[in-house]
Structure 1
């Protein structure tokens, strides 16, 4: 038997109600938060003063993919780890902190607080990566990479004002 036949990046997932909630919660929380003040941000181009900011359509592609990966990571972690309460707290923290950036930066125009929110999000992802298995950790790597870029963009924008 080939060693690669035994390797699966995503273990089989049972889609019960708990896993469905884990999968969609980060996405729903993020989109509900952004919709709560869409009239404040719909006409603006956030971060327009930052020369190296990606085009707006990139964010529309990247964030749904990141939300899917966060959800899958959470579902896999909940299945493979015994300390479920710690894992639930970690992923809920990530979801709330990501939504808090939308609220602080977009709704309240508190760009400095946005920097803190991203920094705390990075810390929460690192903490989570330390308590989950490899499969879940791999799915969080794109998020931490994107958050580092977001931190750089946010700090650069704050320093220009």
Structure 2
């Protein structure tokens, strides 16, 4: 077990988990409000062969969001002082960027803006994992599938931009 920056063992309060679960849920809902997979605009986009079926996104995002909430709560519970503040800021920023992608891509109807957003999200994932690693390696490892899926989403978004230049 890693100790907090103040040299004490972490508490076992459920509060950090409740906070991160609420934040992750809010990001998921905020992002989902922009998604329009049945819109004529989206259906007209030329998508690559590796585009997953629509049902796969919910099947993948549900456990990924759960892992983000768990990892965030687990790490925040073990962090203190500047590590806790930096981790909370990294997580909050990441969740805003996560939700923002849907708005950039679907509501702005801009694969290019979506690509820019997902590239920034990928960088944010690196920062989040690094900050989480500073506090708890197990929690950081739980974030790796999320970062990998986001990297896949970046490749998918880039392919859509390439296939739909305007």
The TM-score range, normalised by the shorter chain, is 0.7 to 0.9
CA distance in 2, matches of 1:56, 1:118: 19
Q: Paired residue for 1:43, among 38, 41, 54?
A: 38
Label 1:87 to 1:52 Cα distance change in 2 as closer, same or farther (>3 A): same
1:141 pairs with 2:144: yes
* TM-score of the pair, normalised by structure 2: 0.81
The equivalent of 1:155 in structure 2 is 158
Across the two proteins, how many residue pairs are aligned to each other? 148
- Structure 1 residues 104-156: Cα deviation after superposition (integer angstroms, max 9, x where no partner): 11111121111111111111111111122211111111111101110110000
Stretches of structure 2 lacking an aligned partner (at least 5 in a row): 2-9
Distance in 2 between residues matched to 1:86 and 1:134, nearest whole Å: 16
Equivalent in the alignment of 2:87 = 87
CA distance in 1, matches of 2:12, 2:46: 41
Q: Indicate whether 1:15 and 2:10 are aligned.
A: no
Correspondence 1:61 to 2:64: no
Aligned CA distance change for structure 1 residues 31 and 60 (closer, same or farther; 3 Å): same
How far apart in 2 are the matches of 1:13 and 1:71?
16
Query: Which residue in 1 is equivalent to 2:22?
Result: 24
CA deviation profile, 1:51-101 (whole Å, cap 9, x unmatched) = 111111110111111111111111011011222110110000110000010
Moved more, 82-91 or 22-31: 22-31
TM-score normalised to the size of structure 1?
0.83
Moved over 4 A (4+): 45-48
In the alignment, what sits opposite 1:3?
none
